Amino acid sequence: MIDIHAINPLYSVSGLLVGVLVGFTGVGGGALMTPILILLFGVHATTAVGTDLLYASITKSFGTLVHGHNDAVDWRIVRRLASGSIPATILTLALIFHLGVESHNTGGIISTVLGIALILTAITLVFRKWLLEHSATYLERLSDHQIHILTVVLGALLGTLVSLSSVGAGAIGVTALLMLYPKLQTVRIVGSDIAHAVPLTLIAGAGHWLLGSVDWSLLVSLLIGSVPGIGLGSQLASRVPDRVLRPVLAGTLVVVGAKLAV
């Protein structure tokens, strides 16, 4: 149950700031919000991830509606990703249950995976163009069946990564899809990635909820700030040079990721 008196204005302010950055850069909120909850507010790693997953499923649902309305979703790619991510998500949740939701081991694993995911996100932000150029020669020679298999494998990796850290479905997923489907419009890649993130984060978040690792008051507090924040950031995005903001954000993710991973 949600205790209206437990809604924390500090969480809402954090949601607002993260929302603005998400609107600016397009980087998923998990890469920004989950570390803040763990490092600044002392929220248990499992609770931070579980709450952020449901938060992501809600916010990305609106994005999917917009992209779907604009015919910017390739449902074939979504199905391929989901066929790998959903089983991987279920297996990862079973592992968390086996280890114990609030156990020290689970918290340590999640913090380490989160740190690695943040560093990988930073790498994709800075080196996306280089990665795309150097993968094109090899990947363009693959058959559609091979691309299909690689997409399912990518989905499985994202399912595991997102279930453990709530990070990966954004920058990492989009970069990998751009490598696998270079002839597809970028807007359809982004739309497909967001559409896939909805069932992925919803199933992973529901699993965390069943395990008792979702703080509903925290979730509402974040949404109060982040929903207007994303709108504000999207409106202001054109006024901030992308070549300046992305390296700064990437550097921050590396520092935070290293702190969590060690």
How far apart CA 181 and CA 77 sit, in angstroms, is 9
How far apart CA 154 and CA 200 sit, in angstroms, is 13
In this predicted structure, what is the pLDDT of residue 183?
A: 86
In this predicted structure, what is the pLDDT of residue 147?
A: 94
What one-letter code names the amino acid at 75? W
Q: Give me 14's structure tokens.
A: 């954090």
Treating both helix axes as pointing N-terminal to C-terminal, what angle do 216-236 and 45-69 enclose, rounded to 10 degrees? 50
Q: What is the pLDDT of residues 237-260, one digit of tens each?
A: 556 666 666 677 777 778 778 877
Q: Which residue has the tokens 């916010």?
A: 59
Q: What's the half-sphere exposure (Cβ side, CA atoms, 13 Å) at 178? A: 18
Q: Give me 48's structure tokens.
A: 């931070």
In this predicted structure, what is the pLDDT of residue 145?
A: 94
What one-letter code names the amino acid at 76? R
As a dihedral over the C-alpha atoms of residue 197, residue 198, residue 201, residue 206, rounded to 10 degrees, the angle is -160
Which positions of the chain have pLDDT values less than 70? Answer: 1-6, 23-29, 234-246, 262
- Average model confidence (pLDDT) for the chain? 84
> CA angle at residue 45 from 22 to 206, to 5 degrees?
75
Q: What is the pLDDT of residues 98-113, one digit of tens each?
A: 888 877 788 888 888 8
**CA–CA distance from 194 to each of 50, 177, 207, 261 (Å)?**
18, 12, 20, 27
As a dihedral over the C-alpha atoms of residue 159, residue 106, residue 36, residue 59, rounded to 10 degrees, the angle is 30
In this predicted structure, what is the pLDDT of residue 125?
A: 81
